[in-house]
Amino acid sequence: MKINKIIILFLLLPFVALAQDLKVGKLQCEYKSDPQGIEEASPKLSWQLQSTGHNIIQTSYRVLVASNKTLLDQNKGDVWDSKKVSSSASIQVGYAGKPLASARTYYWKVMVWDNQQHTSAWSKPAHWQMGLPSKADWKGAQWIAYDRLPDSSKITPLIHLRGPKKLGPANDVLPLLRKEFKVTKAVKRATIYISGLGHFELSINGQKTGDHFLDPGWTGYDKQALYVPFDVTDQIKQGSNAIGVMLGNGFYFIPRDARYRKLTGAYGYPKMICRLVTEYTDGTTDNVISDQSWTTAPGPITYTSIYGGEDYNANLEQPGWDKPGFNDARWKKAMVVEGVPQLDAQIAEPLKVFEQFAPKTVKELGPGVTGQATKSKDPTFKPKMMTNRVLYDFGQNLSGIVRITVKGKRGDTVRIYPAELLTKEGTIDQKGSGNPHYYDYILKGTGEETWQPRFTYYGFRYAQVENAVSSGSANPHQLPVITAIKSLHTRNASAIVGNFSCSNELFNRTFKLIDWAIKSNMASVFTDCPHREKLGWLEEAHLVGGSIRYIYDIANLSRKCINDMQVAQTPEGLVPEIAPEFTNFGGIFRDSPEWGSNSIILPWYVYQWYGDKKVLADSYPMMERYLIYLNGMAKDNILSQGLGDWFDIGPKSPGLSQNTPQGITATAIYYYDLQIIAQIARLLGKSADAVRYEKLAGEVKTSFNKSFFDASTKQYGTGSQTANAIAMYCGLLDAKDKAAVLDNIVKDIRTRNNALTAGDIGYRYLLRVLDDNGRSDVIFEMNNRSDVPGYGYQLAKGATALTESWQALPGVSNNHLMLGHLMEWFYSGLAGIKQPDDATGIGFRHIEIRPEPVGDVTFAKASYNSPYGMISSDWKKEGKKFVLDVEIPANARASVHLPANKGDKVQMNGKPVAAAWKDGKAELKVGSGRYHLVVE
């Protein structure tokens, strides 16, 4: 009997394993795992199905949300029990339970059923914590500061460049603020909600809280600021505790001094607000809030500017200032100051320090004139002769800061100049990146001292250290000795979701070139460059967005960008070219439809990639107002304002469009906007709006073709690559003309010996048109070279990050993401992971795998962790065989297109399969799972 039971159990094991193979993982709330600061009344939940089986589709789900983990462990959802819901939805599932309370933590889990009669176990528990969405939730917390900037000294909007000398003080006090409090009971959880403007660094009981850099994110401070929640349970102890806050300027206050600044202005002096919520095990709660009971004093940072650098005097440190028991008798009471109209949780990921680089080479330069003193445009910046200068080459141009470890005498000052490039003489060159930008560190003389800037950063590869010597060098003047130095790369902490590599080494190097520019310009906005401007120029977010999304999860950074545009939109409906709009550049640098249309295109792309329909509803009023503005600016439906195809290649130095007539790109984007909003209107149930926008789109198309299309030559405008490509991509061609216009595009490229001319706006559309129409061979030939301006040319010039100009000119930025469009083709074309054009592909629910084995490429592989799970495409040529390994996530499906001739044999997982033949490819429909495909 016992033997029979064992036999039966053994026979059942495969079936038990099969039933248990379906799992649920990667639970997220509002795109984050176990997030804090959630302010949505109905947060969006998502999860991923995990199974080794094939063709797995979710058929039902059940979500439990509980007020504590004990109830959740008992399978009790006292806050929400969705019951069994018949639905395949596993992303963007809206919470529909009881009203959620501020600062409360909620615990949740999911189980699912699939189309093969499998039932998963409950997922591992996850949680989210609510934020403080209303003013009352702050429990009386006040904005406090060291001092108040008089209203007469405020400068908003900020002024471009330096402005007149009468613009207020040249510097401000960078304060420390502290508060002691007692804890008398056992702590269950402690959370602090804090904002410090321009930036803050928080510590509790002498230990820095978290690993963030430059919190909070940049916003239009006259309308909005962001707060950041931290779980500080492990930092709070029974007995006496102390909170310490150090404040920096950021964009909130930009000092007027002799150093570099792109903008000058002041919203106010640095200030902060916070609420610490301590929950005890007995169920009671205490609050510590910012108010006049806090004390404050000047800190050891004596200067900081988002543009100019930072100075630190270690002799002004006050040891123990952020610990309990510190004697602050000489400190003054904090001053209560005015607040910011709107205070919201920071939804975008924070900035953090990532890669660290030690010097590749070290060169003693000897005595000489300091940094860029001789080239500074500010007459008040006086040159100084430095006793010694040391040049460190870290080998990589990046966004970040320098960290030094130094030994020397008390009062010695070490100066550090970061730079992207070198002069012909071999010293640092800040000409194209904003000069002078530097850091001064004054030693306290107590052995080895380690320091790095806290509230500024720069784009650099080199560091020139002055008034010091490198370790092991001769030191006749007894200068400070640099015992260690590193460059620290800082970027937005968006998760990496994609990888790519191929057999073509130039393409692999190009991938890294573009990637360094992307991650160097992901701050709390998508910046143009990490040094000279640091501004959120909006065209990049939609034009290079496809490239970025394949590598990084930028859902929340994109949502933050959308919010910035909503805040920046003018009463007339204009969405300016930068957001936050710290300054009004005016004219063509404020009103370019290719830039402002990000307000329509980016929400649409967020919906397409992540399935977020709510972002469309939230953005719809902004879209409507912007289109009303554009309609008012149009003359006979043609828009002619703006920058056009910025930085294209022509006979002159790059800048305004040289090849494409004014109005083509702006009007084409206008038509694209109208098509998008018509689709959005239908999704939102606004059918009358959709009809109205479709009618206007038809009128714009007619006017566009009448104004720019030559029916005899089948060319738009001058027939430039940009003009023809953007018209084709945006759908402005009649079907009968598409083949001829595509031929003209290819012909133009061929007659230029496969060289590109398109710029910031046009190149993305040129690549998309070629990719979408099966001409990846042309893309390969344009980019597999180093002899003409382009990616290979920049690499040949020594670039380690994508440069602002195709020509890698030294006088402009050498770390710019705006021309990074080829990254999108690496994934969608060469490796072949893309979305279908129709609604089935939203969130990559339906996937196209369409690899393009072009040129000398013998293998390519890419992966993308989509909202539904991992998608991968890995192909190679083996003699006459084409081999493709594909992974499709559960709850998704795919169309696989294989390069093949009609007589070829196709195998899938070792078995012959019949394929449909379409556009010269063998097409297979597959569900989730892993597939090994062979064509021979």
For 614-661, what is each residue's pLDDT tens digit? 999 999 999 999 999 999 999 999 999 999 999 999 999 999 999 999
In this structure, what is the dihedral angle of CA atoms 747, 748, 754, 755, given to the nearest 10 degrees? -170
Indicate whether 11 pLDDT > 60. Answer: no
Q: What's the CA gap between 888 and 481, in Å, rounded?
A: 56
Q: What is the pLDDT of residue 17?
A: 37
Confidence of residue 902 (pLDDT cuts 50, 70, 90): confident
Q: Residue 138 carries which DSSP code?
A: G
Indicate whether 325 pLDDT > 60. Answer: yes
Of 274, 128, 291, the residue nearest 193 (C-alpha) = 274
- Pairing between strand 175-183 and 239-248? antiparallel
Gap between the terminal Cα atoms of the chain: 55
Q: Is the dihedral of CA 531, 537, 539, 543 positive or negative?
A: positive
What are residue 865's phi and psi, to 5 degrees?
Answer: -85, 95
Q: What's the CA gap between 782 and 788, in Å, rounded?
A: 9
What's the pLDDT tens digit per position in 658-668? 999 999 999 99
Written as six digits, the tokens of 842 are: 């939203």
What residues does 465 pair with on adjacent strands?
390, 416
Query: Of all helices (H) and strands (E), which one includes residue 776?
Result: helix 776-783
Q: Is the dihedral of CA 907, 912, 916, 921 positive or negative?
A: positive
Q: What's the CA gap between 401 and 380, in Å, rounded?
A: 26
Of 232, 242, 230, the residue nearest 205 (C-alpha) = 242
Written as six digits, the tokens of 448 are: 């080895």
Q: What is the pLDDT of residue 19?
A: 41
Contact 112, 19 (CB under 8 A): no
What's the pLDDT tens digit per position in 779-833? 999 999 999 999 999 999 999 999 999 999 999 999 999 999 999 999 999 999 9
Query: Of all helices (H) and strands (E), which one includes residue 854?
Result: none
Indicate whether 395 pLDDT > 60. Answer: yes
Written as six digits, the tokens of 58 are: 């979710």
What are residue 219's phi and psi, to 5 degrees?
Answer: -145, 175
For range 335-345, the mean pLDDT: 97
Q: What is the pLDDT of residue 382?
A: 64
In this structure, what is the dihedral angle of CA atoms 709, 697, 545, 538, given to the nearest 10 degrees? 90
Q: What whole-number percentage of the chain has pLDDT above 90?
A: 92
Indicate whether 9 pLDDT > 50. Answer: no
Contact 482, 362 (CB under 8 A): no
Written as six digits, the tokens of 621 are: 């009023």
Averaged pLDDT score across all residues of the chain: 95
For range 4-17, the mean pLDDT: 36
Indicate whether 170 pLDDT > 80. Answer: no
Contact 198, 251 (CB under 8 A): yes
What are residue 9's phi and psi, to 5 degrees?
Answer: -60, -40
Give the rounded distance of the alpha carbon of 63 from its chain centre.
Answer: 31
Residue type, 36: Q
Indicate whether 313 pLDDT > 50. Answer: yes
Q: What's the CA gap between 723 and 725, in Å, rounded?
A: 6
Of 616, 779, 780, the residue nearest 690 (C-alpha) = 616
Q: What's the CA gap between 780 and 51, in Å, rounded?
A: 37
What's the pLDDT tens digit per position in 208-248? 999 999 999 999 999 999 999 999 999 999 999 999 999 99
Indicate whether 14 pLDDT > 70. Answer: no
Q: What is the pLDDT of residue 616?
A: 98
* Residue whose structure tokens are 């968006």: 494
Query: Of all helices (H) and strands (E), which one includes residue 149?
Result: none
Cβ atoms within 10 A of the Cβ of 82, count?
18
Cβ atoms within 10 A of the Cβ of 809, count?
17
Residue by residue, what is the 3-state secondary structure of 864-886? EEECCEEEEEEEEEECCEEEEEE
Of 175, 318, 337, the residue nearest 247 (C-alpha) = 175
Q: What is the pLDDT of residue 595?
A: 98
